[in-house]
Amino acid sequence: MRRALLLCFLISPLLATAVQAATGPDRLADPKLEARAVALQKELRCVVCQGESLDESAAPLAADLRRLIRARLEKGESDAQIENYLVARYGDFILMRPPLEPGTYLLWFGPLIAVTIGGVVAAAAIIRARRNERAETPR
Amino acid sequence: MTGEIGQLALCFALALSLVQAGAGLIGGLKGSSIARQVSSSAALGFAVFVCVAFGALVAGFVTSDFSILDVAQNSHTLKPLFYKVTGVWGNHEGSMLLWVLVLAVYTMFTVLGERGGARLTSAALGIEGLLAAAFLIYILFASNPFLRIDPPPIEGAGLNPLLQDPGLSFHPPMLYFGYVGLSATFAYAAAALLTGEAGANWARAARPFLLAAWCALTLGITLGSWWAYYVLGWGGFWFWDPVENASLMPWLVATALLHSSLATERTGAFRSWTLLLSIGAFSLSLIGTFLVRSGVLTSVHAFASDPERGRFILCILLVAIGGALGLFAWRAPKLESGTAFEPVSRETALLLNNVLLTAAAATVFLGTLYPLFLEAATGTRISVGPPYFAITFAPLFVALVIIAPFGPRLAWRRDDLLPAMRALAPGLGVAILGGAIVLAVATPHAAAAACCVALAGWVLVASVIDLARRTKSNLLSLGSFAPVLAHAGLGLTLLGIAGTTFWKSEALEVLAPGQSLEVGGYRLQFDGVTPVAGPNYRADRATVDVMRNEEKIATLRPEKRIYPVEGQAISKTAIRTTGFSDLYVALGDDRGQGHYAIRAYVNPLAPFIWFGGAAMALGGLTSLLSRIRLGLRRPALAPAE
């Protein structure tokens, strides 16, 4: 139900056309470019759906953006250029990987901080337990 | 009538839960056995009335009593009986009632088990009563499933077709058994803090509840992932979606708790930490419920537009979590801590496991809630998707899998690392070999794939070694299968993830009848589409012959279903599994003149993802069963009152 509750807002258009995503005519002839296009699609989100990447989404806007990515790749633009163009249009929201900037430092370094704190606390606990152990059974 | 019976039963249940809470707390704090008996009786009555209320709602759904608003909004006369019943929890009001029903079940086990002695049980009953009362007040005043409408509509609005699916019918009850089971652990932890009986005794008392909850949560998440895989039509199994994360966070903390309480129970180590984890695990369950139920995930604004329910749950959340943490801060420092062990010991392994699991839970928490906080604070909208979790969550999990085999291998208090390393060497060998083979058979993601396979090989072989050692030294009991199965399940799931992520083949083509497409060594011949009428839907059913070496081996029939009542269409994928690999076919849109888009995948090792989940749950279950057997053979050692 977790997912369904969320999906019910958008599911009817979505599932009916889920199989349309990245249909034949969209595909690029050059396999290297196509692979880059797919990699880009996975890093960008569909801005009208909930939590789906451009790669998975079946919304018309996502299909347009997939086409746009391919057109720009064919023109020889770099991945970064295309991403920058889309960010300028839709904001950071479109990036599945949030940019590293002051507002997201906590997000990006939080896991490291958590594991460091955990490590320090665990080390302290181990040292204390070792002292207790040695005190109880002197070797 | 049914509606009024249900309403009345809820009112009685609320009154009794308050009695249960008050008497239980008095019984726990003062040691009064009369109060404890009053609490037990009230709990029994509470459970009976909750069952009556739930039964009334089921009756309303089964008889399609559309004068009940909840039924009118979520059911339909044409719906098959099975989905009329499962539709009871396919909506907000009904699912909250299910929450309380599950709580009643666990409360009954608390009463009947009377684990950990009279005072502890009594106090735990008191806490459970408080939780029950809070949720019943919420149901009666903000989320009443028995509200009437006048005049009743002739027909109901139907149930979201996505929920009309066997996998998803059992997914919510499973998750709730997990979430609410953690409330029993929470109640015992709070009871231990209140009564001061916070030693090994409470951990032993709470263990069966924790195991049951963990198994249910594991199965619930596995079911949800399987459902997403076969329903959503593109073969993905985990999306790092906030709603999924909401169930993953309590699971991670419950897993940490499962490990730390082993030590608490055995040697009395990590006492206050285990208590804190119990509070944390249930708090995350509540937060999960809040996140999913309040609409806050859709956007911060959705919460503000219909704030009553969200605020109510938020209040319960703050009081429960704040109260428990306050209690912890007040009482925990008084717990004596004389834990003693050497740095090389099982305790250390469990401690590291806990550091990694809680850091992983914190990561998921950040990734899920950070966008909400950022938007509320600065108005900036960001997305946190799979790439974030690949960078932050995956390394923690890799470390966790690396240390997992050491836990069961090392002895309590003190051991030597070298013999353990020597014993586990074959695992390392298989890991290196597996990784090397994957690297040799190059794919674009070779390094990541090799890492996944190596880790899976390591933990799987180590499980076999562990099992062999236990068999040889006659340590084999039902419960000793628990770590073997659970860790092996982890390895299986990893293999499945590697297979589907790195070696998936896919094909998507527009086909006319008679034409075929090639995918992963199969040729799929499309033989056209026939219309089919279901009980409450109509479907286009495609016939797709599966050919291997020009020999027909199966026929698959993917469908596209249209539910006219709900005005929705869903796709029904067809999956042929060999147990090692899935052939997955979805029917796409009609391109006119009998042409249809057909999407097909071959997902190698995909079934392992769910086998792994099932194996983990089975591991938990063997531990639970062995405890029950022990409990039957030898009554729990109840401390003197």
Q: Residue A93 belongs to a domain with what CATH number?
A: 1.10.8.640
- Helices B346-378, A105-136: axis angle to 10 degrees equals 150
- Kindly determine whether residue B413 and residue A18, on different chains, have CB atoms separated by under 8 Å: no
Say yes or no: A109 and A62 in one domain.
Answer: no
**Beta-bridge partners for B506:** B601
Element (H, E) at A53: none
Say yes or no: A56 and A82 in one domain.
Answer: yes
| Number of separate domains in chain B | 4
Residue B541 φ then ψ, to 5°: -115, 120
Instruction: Output the pLDDT for position A138.
Output: 59
Q: How many Å apart are CA B88 and CA B61, to the nearest integer?
A: 7
pLDDT value at B146 more than 80? yes
Q: In this structure, is residue B388 part of a structural domain?
A: yes
Say yes or no: B283 and B190 in one domain.
Answer: yes
Cis peptide before A13 (omega within 30 of 0): no
Element (H, E) at B468: helix B446-472
- Kindly determine whether residue A5 and residue B292, on different chains, have CB atoms separated by under 8 Å: yes
Instruction: Output the pLDDT for position B309.
Output: 78
Q: How many Å apart are CA B307 and CA B91, to the nearest integer?
A: 18
Residues of B in contact with A16 (CB under 8 A): 560, 569-571, 589
Query: From the list A3, A8, A104, which residue is nearest B228 (CB)?
Result: A3
Q: Please, what sign has the CA dihedral across residues B386, B390, B396, B398? A: positive
Rounded to the nearest angstrom, the minimum Cα separation between A47 and chain B is 10
User: What b/e readout covers B166-205, taking b as 16+ CB neighbours within 10 angstroms?
Assistant: eebbebbbbbbbbbbbbbbbbbbbbbbbbbebbbbbbbbb
Q: In this structure, is residue B253 part of a structural domain?
A: yes
Rounded to the nearest angstrom, the minimum Cα separation between B481 and chain A is 28
- Is there a contact between B36 and B158 (Cβ–Cβ < 8 Å)? no
Say yes or no: B429 and B519 in one domain.
Answer: no
Q: How many Å apart are CA B310 and CA B291, to the nearest integer?
A: 9
Q: In this structure, is residue B463 part of a structural domain?
A: yes
Contacts of B421 (CB under 8 A, 6+ apart): none
Instruction: Output the pLDDT for position B372.
Output: 87
- Is there a contact between B579 and A2 (Cβ–Cβ < 8 Å)? no
| Domain span including residue B524 | 505-604
Q: In this structure, is residue B189 part of a structural domain?
A: yes
> B579-610: per-residue pLDDT in tens?
899 999 999 888 888 899 898 999 999 999 99
Q: Which two tokens stand for residue B490?
A: 């982890």
- Kindly determine whether residue A4 and residue B162, on different chains, have CB atoms separated by under 8 Å: yes
Query: From the list B234, B352, B378, which residue is nearest A18 (CB)?
Result: B234
Residues of B in contact with A99 (CB under 8 A): 382
Rounded to the nearest angstrom, the minimum Cα separation between A76 and chain B is 22
- Kindly determine whether residue B341 and residue A133, on different chains, have CB atoms separated by under 8 Å: yes
For residue A57, the chain B residue with the least C-alpha distance is: B234
Question: Which band of pLDDT confidence, cut at 50, 70 and 90, is reported for residue B508?
Answer: confident
Q: How many Å apart are CA B326 and CA B483, to the nearest integer?
A: 34
> B390-426: per-residue pLDDT in tens?
999 999 999 999 999 999 999 998 899 999 999 999 9
| Single-letter amino acid code for the residue at B218 | T
Say yes or no: A60 and A104 in one domain.
Answer: no
Say yes or no: A34 and A86 in one domain.
Answer: yes
For residue A9, the chain B residue with the least C-alpha distance is: B298
Say yes or no: B216 and B295 in one domain.
Answer: yes
Question: Which band of pLDDT confidence, cut at 50, 70 and 90, is reported for residue B336?
Answer: low
Q: Which of B413, B443, B475 is the last residue of a domain?
A: B413
pLDDT value at B227 more than 50? yes
Q: How many Å apart are CA B185 and CA B200, to the nearest integer?
A: 14
- Kindly determine whether residue A6 and residue B243, on different chains, have CB atoms separated by under 8 Å: yes
Q: In this structure, is residue A76 part of a structural domain?
A: yes
Say yes or no: B314 and B192 in one domain.
Answer: yes
Instruction: Output the pLDDT for position A1.
Output: 38
Enumerate helices (H) and strands (E) in chain A, giving the number of each.
Answer: 6, 0
Q: In this structure, is residue B640 part of a structural domain?
A: no
Q: Which two tokens stand for residue B423?
A: 């014993």
Residues of A in contact with B348 (CB under 8 A): 126
Planar angle of CA B144, B146, B150, nearest 5 degrees: 115
Instruction: Output the pLDDT for position B641.
Output: 32
Partner B contacted by A26 (CB < 8 A): no
Partner B contacted by A48 (CB < 8 A): no
Q: How many Å apart are CA B37 and CA B341, to the nearest integer?
A: 41
- Kindly determine whether residue A9 and residue B298, on different chains, have CB atoms separated by under 8 Å: yes
Rounded to the nearest angstrom, the minimum Cα separation between A81 and chain B is 19
> B492-506: per-residue pLDDT in tens?
999 999 998 888 888
Q: Are strands B581-590 and B596-604 parallel, antiparallel or unpaired?
A: antiparallel
Give the number of other CB atoms < 10 A from CB of residue B550: 6
Partner B contacted by A20 (CB < 8 A): yes
Q: In this structure, is residue A2 part of a structural domain?
A: no
> B510-542: per-residue pLDDT in tens?
899 999 999 988 999 999 999 999 888 999 999
Rounded to the nearest angstrom, the minimum Cα separation between A129 and chain B is 4
Say yes or no: A77 and A37 in one domain.
Answer: yes
Residues of B in contact with A111 (CB under 8 A): 359, 362-363, 366, 392-393, 396
- Kindly determine whether residue A2 and residue B224, on different chains, have CB atoms separated by under 8 Å: yes
Rounded to the nearest angstrom, the minimum Cα separation between A77 and chain B is 22
**Quick one: CA torsion of B386, B388, B392, B398, rounded to 10 degrees?**
30
Q: How many Å apart are CA B141 and CA B1, to the nearest integer?
A: 20
Partner B contacted by A102 (CB < 8 A): no
Instruction: Output the pLDDT for position B445.
Output: 67
Residue A101 φ then ψ, to 5°: -150, 170
pLDDT value at B295 more than 90? no
**ipTM of the complex as predicted:** 0.85
Rounded to the nearest angstrom, the minimum Cα separation between A112 and chain B is 8
| Number of separate domains in chain A | 2
DSSP, residue by residue, B87-128: GGGSSHHHHHHHHHHHHHHHHHHHHHH-TT-HHHHHHHHHHH
pLDDT value at B1 more than 60? yes
Residues of A in contact with B598 (CB under 8 A): 19
Contacts of B360 (CB under 8 A, 6+ apart): B252, B393, B396, B397, B400
Say yes or no: B82 and B134 in one domain.
Answer: yes
- In chain B, % helix, strand, coil (3-state, to 5) comes to 65, 10, 20
Residue B543 φ then ψ, to 5°: -110, 120
Say yes or no: B20 and B150 in one domain.
Answer: yes
> How does the average pLDDT of chain B come out, rounded?
89
Say yes or no: B207 and B129 in one domain.
Answer: no
Say yes or no: A69 and A26 in one domain.
Answer: yes
User: What b/e readout covers B59-79, taking b as 16+ CB neighbours within 10 angstroms?
Assistant: bbbbebbbbbbbbbbbbbebb
> B64-104: per-residue pLDDT in tens?
999 999 999 889 998 899 999 999 988 888 999 999 999 99
- Kindly determine whether residue A97 and residue B385, on different chains, have CB atoms separated by under 8 Å: yes
Say yes or no: B435 and B488 in one domain.
Answer: yes
- Is there a contact between A3 and B171 (Cβ–Cβ < 8 Å)? no
Residues of B in contact with A43 (CB under 8 A): 385, 387
Q: How many Å apart are CA B429 and CA B335, to the nearest integer?
A: 45
Measuring CA to CA, which residue among B61, B31, B248 is closest to residue B163?
B61
Query: From the list B342, B388, B569, which residue is nearest A15 (CB)?
Result: B569
Residues of B in contact with A95 (CB under 8 A): 382-383
Q: Which two tokens stand for residue B449?
A: 């794939």
- At which residue do the structure tokens 């990541």 appear? B448
Burial class of residue B536 in the structure, from the number of CB atoms within 10 Å of its CB (0-12 exposed, 13-18 middle, 19+ buried): buried
Say yes or no: B53 and B172 in one domain.
Answer: no
Choosing among B355, B370, B396, B566, which should be mutated to test the A contact, i.e. which has the most A CBs within 10 A? B355
Residues of B in contact with A36 (CB under 8 A): none
Say yes or no: A13 and A45 in one domain.
Answer: yes
Q: Which two tokens stand for residue A51?
A: 């939590």
Say yes or no: A67 and A93 in one domain.
Answer: yes
- Window from A65-74, B197-206, B380-389 with minimum mean pLDDT: B197-206
Half-sphere exposure of B261 (CA within 13 A, CB side): 29
Q: In this structure, is residue A73 part of a structural domain?
A: yes
Planar angle of CA A28, A34, A38, nearest 5 degrees: 130
How many residues make up chain A in this entry?
139
- Kindly determine whether residue A18 and residue B232, on different chains, have CB atoms separated by under 8 Å: yes
Half-sphere exposure of B533 (CA within 13 A, CB side): 2
3-state secondary structure B318-336: HHHHHHHHHHHHHHHHHCC
- Helices B33-62, B92-113: axis angle to 10 degrees equals 150
Q: In this structure, is residue B641 part of a structural domain?
A: no
Say yes or no: A82 and A105 in one domain.
Answer: no
Q: In this structure, is residue B478 part of a structural domain?
A: yes
DSSP three-state, residue B210: helix
- Kindly determine whether residue A4 and residue B168, on different chains, have CB atoms separated by under 8 Å: yes
Residues of B in contact with A126 (CB under 8 A): 341, 343, 348, 351
Say yes or no: A27 and A90 in one domain.
Answer: yes
Helix ranges, B197-241 (H): 200-231
User: What b/e readout covers B96-117, taking b as 16+ CB neighbours within 10 angstroms?
Assistant: bbbbbbbbbbbbbebbebbbbb
Q: Which two tokens stand for residue B541?
A: 């059913």
DSSP three-state, residue B584: strand
Rounded to the nearest angstrom, the minimum Cα separation between B633 and chain A is 34
Instruction: Output the pLDDT for position B619.
Output: 95
| Domain span including residue A138 | 100-139
- Kindly determine whether residue B232 and residue A129, on different chains, have CB atoms separated by under 8 Å: no
Question: Which band of pLDDT confidence, cut at 50, 70 and 90, is reported for residue B359?
Answer: very high
Say yes or no: A48 and A110 in one domain.
Answer: no
- Kindly determine whether residue B386 and residue A96, on different chains, have CB atoms separated by under 8 Å: yes
- Is there a contact between B596 and B544 (Cβ–Cβ < 8 Å)? no
- Is there a contact between B57 and B140 (Cβ–Cβ < 8 Å)? no
Rounded to the nearest angstrom, the minimum Cα separation between B24 and chain A is 34
- Kindly determine whether residue B351 and residue A122, on different chains, have CB atoms separated by under 8 Å: yes
pLDDT, greater one: A17 or A129: A129
- Window from B213-217, B298-302, B534-538 with minimum mean pLDDT: B298-302
- Kindly determine whether residue A96 and residue B385, on different chains, have CB atoms separated by under 8 Å: yes
Q: In this structure, is residue A4 part of a structural domain?
A: no
pLDDT value at B51 more than 70? yes
DSSP three-state, residue B8: helix
* For residues B553-559, average pLDDT: 93
Q: How many Å apart are CA A52 and CA B104, to the nearest integer?
A: 38
pLDDT, greater one: B542 or A137: B542
Residues of A in contact with B246 (CB under 8 A): 2
Say yes or no: B70 and B123 in one domain.
Answer: yes
Say yes or no: B186 and B70 in one domain.
Answer: no
- Kindly determine whether residue A16 and residue B589, on different chains, have CB atoms separated by under 8 Å: yes
Say yes or no: A73 and A14 in one domain.
Answer: yes
Q: How many Å apart are CA B498 and CA B501, to the nearest integer?
A: 5
- Kindly determine whether residue A4 and residue B163, on different chains, have CB atoms separated by under 8 Å: yes
3-state secondary structure B362-426: HHHHHHHHHHHHHHHHHCCCCCCCHHHHHHHHHHHHHHHHHHCCHHHHCCCCCCCHHHHHHHHHH
Instruction: Output the pLDDT for position B636.
Output: 46
pLDDT value at B460 more than 50? yes
Rounded to the nearest angstrom, the minimum Cα separation between B315 and chain A is 22
Q: Which of B413, B441, B471 is the last residue of a domain?
A: B413
Q: In this structure, is residue B303 part of a structural domain?
A: yes
Residues of A in contact with B336 (CB under 8 A): none
Say yes or no: B545 and B629 in one domain.
Answer: no
Rounded to the nearest angstrom, the minimum Cα separation between B292 and chain A is 7
